[in-house]
Chain A
Amino acid sequence: MTTAPSPGLRPEGPPADRTTAVAARATELSKIYGQGETQVVALDRVSVGFRQAEFTAIMGPSGSGKSTLMHCVAGLDTFSSGSVRIGETELGSLKDKQLTKLRRDKIGFIFQAFNLLPTLSALENITLPMDIAGRKPDKEWLDTVIRMVGLSDRLSHRPSQLSGGQQQRVAVARALASRPDIIFGDEPTGNLDSRSGAEVLGFLRNSVRELGQTVVMVTHDPVAAAYADRVIFLADGRIVDEVYGPTADSVLDRMKQFDAKGRTS
């Protein structure tokens, strides 16, 4: 089975006006489960960089390793070989305690579901990472973020009093509020209807455009991927393609090709 990209699918390359500073980078990253016969390679020497103030979507079929790649880069999962850097920090050598601290201070997360603590109000959920760190939130920044996601009049509500879309907006605000180096989203729109999903994706894109945030998102939805600046395609643990300035149609096209290849191979 070959997964090498065909010449016709070569990426266009980064636009020239983009900054080249990298927020996170994986080099020769491998993740192998089990041993011998039962060995499963989830990631096979993947090298990828996520530039600052760029919105990247990771796509691929189930089992392609897209979630594993994100978890490894975000410091949630361990890897077998290779290296991962967040800013200047090399993750491979960190203990659980240091990793936890790194996640707290440098990374923001948005999950598909169970994103919020039901006992806390919306505002308390947003400031939770700062509370954990024992830091005072930057008031001005917090207001900016809350205004952006349009939650000003919902701050004292409990998650159960908010709609699914509003809950996910709280999660976006929480990820942004601590000004992390990079935000990871794991299918952030997976549980939302298309309108709410579009809102959340809009906020993520705005945060990149207007606030210079770096965002990496795993998704299987071409429409969601179209909000990104760049889409990385994974299959069988390898990066097989990359698209800059994607549209829903172009992403869908690529995916169809992989599917076809997958079936014929």
Chain B
Amino acid sequence: MLRTALRNVSAHKARLLMTLLAVMLGVAFVSGTLVFTNSLSEALQKQSAKGFDHVDVAVTPQWKEAEGDKVGAYRELTRELVDDSAAVPGAARAIGTVQGFTAIADKDGKLLGDGFQSQGGNYWGTNDPRYPLVSGRAPKGEGEILIDSESAKRAGYQVGDTVRMSVDGPVIEPVVTGIFTTDDGNVAAGGSLTLFDTASAQKLFGKAGTFDEIAVKAKDGVSETELRAQLEKALPSDVVETTTGTRLADDQAEAIASSMSGLKQGLLVFAGISLFVGTFIIANTFTMLVAQRTKELALMRAVGASRRQVTRSVLVEAFVVGAVAAVAGLVAGVGVGVGLRSLMGTLDAPMPDGPLVISPGTIGSAFAVGILVTMLAAWLPGRRAAKIPPVAAMSAVHATATTKSLVLRNTLGALFSAAGVAVVLAATTMEGSDGQAPMGLGAVLLIIGVFILTPLLSRPLIAAAAPVLRVFGVSGKLARQNSVRNPRRTAATASALMIGLTLITGMTVMAGSLQKSIDKMAASAIEADYMVSMANGHPLSPDVEKKLERAGDVTAVSPMRNAHARIDGETEFVTGVNGATIEKLTEFPVVQGSFEVGGSRVVVDEDTATSYGWKAGSAFTIAYEDGEKQKLTVSGVYQANEMMSGIMVDTASLDPHQSEPADMMVMVKTADGTSDAAKESLEKALGTNPAIRVQDKQDLSNEIAKMFTLILNMVYGLLAMAVVVAVLGVINTLAMSVFERSQEIGMLRAIGLDRRGIKRMVRLESLVISLFGGVLGLGLGVFFGWAAGELVGSRMATYELVLPWARMGLFLLLAAVVGVLAALWPARRAARLNVLQAIKAE
């Protein structure tokens, strides 16, 4: 039996080609993902391990939990503690480190590197062993800095140059006194690192006199654990925590691995979708191969092969196909991994260098996935093969797919679909995250249900296309009839395309609706002309607010200042706003009382009011960060949105109690509204700071749109693979149909249908199948998009369904293009068929 199975594989090479390709693509996706993420993760881990070379034991401050009226806070690492650490017998040296966000501009005034990776730190003393100087000398005072050699090279800075930069708002223009090298992971990943002297760093990062961490290096011969024990003894245990360098590196490695696994899982989900789509092709191919071999298989049964042997022979074939596809996929996957890395490199996201990691796990997964998926998909056709009675060997009838048991199938499909729709609808009435799981379940049920029902749906839907097809005469008529001839096969082919299009459409509908509603929300509550914020989302210095107040033409300014406080023994975040101007800058619907902020009068949003049982006029006591208390009165309750919510307190009341006031955003209203001149004058007032963004509502909308477009494009790119696999499926089905109907095609040619007519017939069949899948996908996609929107929308007042008609038209066009492209080769083959051989063949 093994020999016959192997012979069959080699005899049907051409017909197995599409199956092989489909499995190969899926495996390539999986192994490419694994190769890429493993390589990246290993490179990052090596990188970060190097970063801990200077630390044998790290001393960090303890977190003091919030208690009573006191908010939680870190203990302070003082200079004394650094000296104490250095004085421990096993310590060679102790360095106090301070870190913070530091944006540097390149020579054109643009932000250097990715905002999130722009770090600043302190240079310890006159010779910091962590950062060997390439040129220049250590910085002194706020006017001098060091920059890393990579960034210096990229921006073209040299010792003596003046650099525009910003830490949390105001622009400063220090001189570069030196350039250093570092193996810091951030820098290796394309970020920048700027160093100040210790005192300046502490001041700029708002941590005057304190450190983030003390890095202690052991003397030769002293182990990390010994040093750690000495430090534990010497330092107050209620203030500090100690961790060995090895542990830090391990923790970091773990963190990298876990952040990588998110990326990996995300990519694997899409790989899984491609593979799932691929199973339809595999099942189709094996079903056809079994049908064609009915006589042969029956003969084997007649001469004594058991049912199990027949099934096994089909599965052995699947195994061979899967194994070959796995090898090819693995090779292609390594290529994908390399490609992804260089793609990221060109997308301004430099990757750390490192060897390509092809782990045994990757190889194992490639084979497991390739072989299992193929065998699983071939299992049903294999069972069907076993059911062929031996007597079929004697009958002269050419076996065609039976149309039995569609009743059972339709019943099952209807049940699944109904259950799916019911669960999805039920989920839409739930609150936010409660509905997510049922909605996912309902979606899966509905997709399975529709998939089971596709053979039934194919008839009416394709019949609906008849009037259009009639235009194409005989070719159109035959194409329509051919496409419903084997409903199961047509269904499986169309379903493959349906899945891709369902996801694409669903995502598009949801993203479009969300974008619109966020957009509307931003527009509805904001009256300000401009919003000023940090490019990377970091907080702004209160200095920015003051500078904006002084700018010309500005009529109202208010910050959105972050603070946390204690109310009734709970930590609560409050927003500091300028009570005098906030009403001009925002327009929140007021549910109760009036929107009035000032002194002890505050406004709260509905949710907060409900949870504390407040109404307009209620009074409560707040304990600020410094422990001081104040009695506040609720003047009004407002309807919050995603951008602003919570308790709004006047900054005048808040500021005295805050050690480090920081603003998320500053809102500005100008005399002339929004204009280029107004924007320019605001930017100028802030010293044309590269790290600060001045945006009007339109900019905000554009930014939201840009974000959604980026996400959508990524999803499109990842789903494209599933569509490619679906195209292979359509090609496969058409090639099968042409092969099976070669006699018919020969007869048609003999009685006078020309090559063009034959080509048109195959193309139209392809188009009908593809559009059928496309229509189903669009329908399901819109439904899921709507349902998911209902779920998310329950938390958003401004949510409304937006149907992207143009996009949907485009998707349908895409399905049509898929159909036309997929038919190219099969149609050509059909037209080239030798008439005589076709009629003679049997």
Contact = CB atoms under 8 A, between A and B. Distances in A.
A132 interface: yes
A104 B835 CA distance: 14
Interface in A78-128: 96-97, 100-101, 103-105, 108-109, 111, 113-115, 117-120, 128
A129 interface: yes
Interface centre among A100, A174, A186 (most CB of B within 10 A): A100
A108 B474 CA distance: 18
Contacts of B482: 119
B65 interface: no
B736 to A, nearest CB: 16
B109 interface: no
A144 to B, nearest CB: 20
A71 interface: yes
Given A119-B482, A131-B473, A100 B836 contact: no
A97 B752 contact: no
Interface residues of B, number: 23
A59 to B, nearest CB: 19
A103 B473 contact: no
B749 interface: yes
Contacts of A108: 751
Contacts of A132: 473-474, 748, 751-753, 757
B752 A71 contact: no
B834 to A, nearest CB: 9
A174 B748 CA distance: 12
B752 A100 contact: yes
A70 B584 CA distance: 96
B754 A100 contact: yes
B751 A114 contact: no
Contacts of A118: 485, 744
A119 B751 contact: no
Nearest to A77: B836
A111 B753 CA distance: 16
Contact of B743 (A77, A103, A114): A114
A71 B836 contact: yes
Interface in B740-770: 743-744, 747-755, 757
Contact of A114 (B478, B481, B485, B747): B747
Contacts of B747: 109, 111, 114-115, 117
Nearest to A175: B751
Interface in B482-500: 482, 485
Interface string B452-476: 0000000000000000000001100
Interface string A48-81: 0000000000000000000000010000110000
A96 B485 contact: no
Contacts of A13: none
Q: Give the interface size bracket for A toward B.
A: 20 to 34
A128 B478 CA distance: 11
B755 A109 contact: no
A105 to B, nearest CB: 7
Nearest to B746: A114
A108 B478 CA distance: 20
A97 B482 CA distance: 24
Contact of B754 (A97, A119, A128): A97
A119 B839 contact: no
Contacts of A186: 839
Given A114-B744, A119-B485, A131-B473, A109 B478 contact: no
Nearest to A68: B836
A103 B482 CA distance: 24
Interface in B189-206: none
A103 B474 contact: no
B755 A103 contact: no
A36 interface: no
Interface in A111-155: 111, 113-115, 117-120, 128-129, 131-134
10 contacts: A76-B836, A96-B754, A96-B755, A109-B747, A118-B744, A119-B478, A128-B751, A129-B751, A131-B473, A132-B753
Interface of B: 473-474, 477-478, 481-482, 485, 743-744, 747-755, 757, 835-836, 839, 842
Given A97-B754, A128-B474, A132-B757, 15 more contacts: A71-B836, A76-B835, A76-B836, A77-B836, A100-B752, A100-B754, A101-B754, A104-B752, A108-B751, A109-B747, A109-B750, A111-B750, A134-B473, A174-B751, A186-B839
Return the 5 tightest CB-CB contacts between A and B, nearest first: A104-B752, A119-B481, A114-B743, A100-B754, A131-B474
